[in-house]
Amino acid sequence: MNNPLLESFDIAPFSKIETAHFLPAIKNAITIAKQQVDEIVKNPEIPSFENTIEKLEYGGELLDRITSIFFNLNSAETNNEIQEIAQEISPILSEYSNDIALNEDLFKKIESVYSLKDTLNLMQEQSTLLEKRYKSFSRNGANLPADKKDKLRAIDKELSQLSLTFGENILAETNKFEMLLTNESDLSGLPDGAKEAARALAESKGKEGWIITLDYPSYIPFMTYADNRELRKKLALAFGSRGFYGDIHDNQKIVLSISKLRHQRAQILGYSSHAHYVLEERMAKTPENVFSFLNEISEKAKPAAEREFIQLENFAKELDGITKLQKWDGAYYSEKLKQKLFNLDDEKLKPYFKLENVIDGVFQVASILFGLQFEETDAIPTYNEEVKTYNVTDSQGEFISLLYADFHPRPGKRNGAWMTSYKPQMIKEGNNIRPHISIVCNFTKPTPSKPSLLTFNEVTTLFHEFGHALHGMLANTTYPGLSGTNVYWDFVELPSQVLENWCYEKEALELFAKHYQTGEVIPMELVEKIKESATFMEGMSTLRQLSFGLLDMSWHAQDPSMITSVKEHEKKAFASTTLYPDVAVNCMSTSFSHIFQGGYSAGYYSYKWAEVLDADAFEYFKENGIFNIEVATKFKDHVLSKGGTENPMSLYKRFRGQEPKPEALLKRAGLIK
């Protein structure tokens, strides 16, 4: 079989790829990668940085490219066949990773180079790569006796499959639920655009009426605007119960197994817990530091959150006689209260945020700050006709990156938003090989009468993911393993979160926030209201985010072997941050994809950690002007282009001139004056 994945390709050959190509291509690429390792091991020359560390770094390139294509398809365009292949290849890839990480002869060569590190006159990036490579072996069992290596292999194999199944279960639960409404009065309060989308979905399924689903563009508007409290409750219970039904898609046993296996793995490697293992390679360093950080923010946020909750409960009582505020009431009454206090709601804002205009806006912001130009092209093959592609160049017309953008929900696409890379940036044989970057979102679809009009939250999501994309596109390092977003996990959210700040600034909004029918620039009074309302219910929002960080740490910073009930454990973890009454049939952990499917285990705190960095960084921009080229150039040169080539705090201080201070975040959030 001619396999396009095994032919030489620069751009992912989506138009030629068939699902059947993946398994043989990955097996073949593993064989090639193993041969490259064998060449290093069998090389009779004395181990050097060039013939060992560098050679290893550039090896496995084909395998990395094929798997990046495959796993993004499994997230953005999956089907039963792709999911079956994922289940088959995950243990194979895990076994391959362990074959490398536990290869004693290879480690001896790396160790030999590492022992001479002070005499090799390495450049900073080379020194970082050597340190990272040595630690990746020493931290993953290279020094273990054979029996423990076997245990590690078995655990890693099982973890890779459990994580996949966890995600498949959530996707299945999300896809199988639909709420068909045949009485228009049940849609009372819902904006016209949301009604139209629900009607279009019903028609596409050959049904009369309106269909509401658990996909964010359907779920969020219903929870925010629908007047029918019972239907909001039904939807919220379905959303909160994913993976918790006790059926074929139940994730409770998987959650318990993953947490216990991670703990066993950490213990085999000599760490007290999975969190101790993970955090050794993070800015936070220890679980104690994470708890201290979360508690410090919580001390400021909790009193504000409790005041806001009482205010919200009193408002709901006054408006509708609600005596006890429930989780399915939060978004609805928050929106009503926001409208009352600020005369501002998303329906007033959405006409100014046509998707195409917001895309143009984020491109203009990147153009002013970093000199980038974006040209849409239809010459690039994609995995779905909805995916847009752009050639990205600098102010001299030099090619910088390829950018893919996939904006709307589909049945084979998981919820949420993410950035990924199909080809990393690196300098090889004197050539600066430029990256291919992708962002994937789930925004409101256009309807027969309206274009895709974004909520303000969706606008900030697009800027967030584009911040990650800039980190990938502007990468300028020698080694792919240190390029772009290959940084400490609690540093990776800085570029994404800092870019969100431009969404609140008049100078930036005037570039793109234009009425989709009249072309009128967003009125200044609305801009002021956006800024005023930015800290609305910030105490509750902060406490909610802290609760997720605490839940994550509760699974990973201790021995979970005594936990028998996922729900009871979760209730204890949430005890200090709980505002709403508990819902017995709901469970967060069983759908907490960030930590049980994605890479955020013992790392969810990093969103808040990065907010401290981003608030402090944006303060610097504001002091000098949000489009100040000098500050932007420093951010590009010391953060965006540098990837993981140095300790992130060193990079940050070089950009900012000082360590970040939490005061900027607390002040921005309105939690301190």
Which are the catalytic amino acids? Answer: 465
Query: What would you report as the CA-atom Rg of the chain, rounded to the nearest whole angstrom?
Result: 25
CA distance 358 to 128: 38
Distance of CA 538 to the CA centre of its chain: 21
Instruction: Assess contact for 477 and 426: CB atoms under 8 A.
Output: yes
SS3 516: coil
CA distance 458 to 344: 16
Q: Which residue has the tokens 């979360």?
A: 294
CA distances from 563 to 145, 272, 318 (A): 30, 17, 42
Tell me whether strands 436-440 and 399-406 are parallel, antiparallel or unpaired.
parallel
Token digits of residue 286:
């220890």
DSSP label at residue 401: E
CB atoms within 10 A of CB 129: 24
CB atoms within 10 A of CB 289: 15
CA distance 377 to 581: 51
Beta bridge partners of 521: 514
Token digits of residue 303:
């009193």
Residue 49 burial class via C-beta count within 10 angstroms: exposed 0-12, middle 13-18, buried 19 and up: buried
Identity of residue 138: S
Instruction: Return the HEC string of 219-283.
Output: HHHHHHHCCCHHHHHHHHHHHHCCCCCCCCCCCHHHHHHHHHHHHHHHHHCCCCCHHHHHHCCCC
- Closest Cα partner for 435 from 424, 448, 426? 424
DSSP label at residue 505: -
DSSP label at residue 374: E
- Closest Cα partner for 607 from 544, 653, 673? 544
Torsion angles phi and psi, residue 104, rounded to 5:
-65, -40
DSSP label at residue 445: P
The angle that helices 327-342 and 524-533 make with each other, rounded to 10 degrees, is 140
Q: Which residue has the tokens 């990480």?
A: 101
Tell me whether strands 388-393 and 210-213 are parallel, antiparallel or unpaired.
unpaired
CA distance 660 to 293: 13
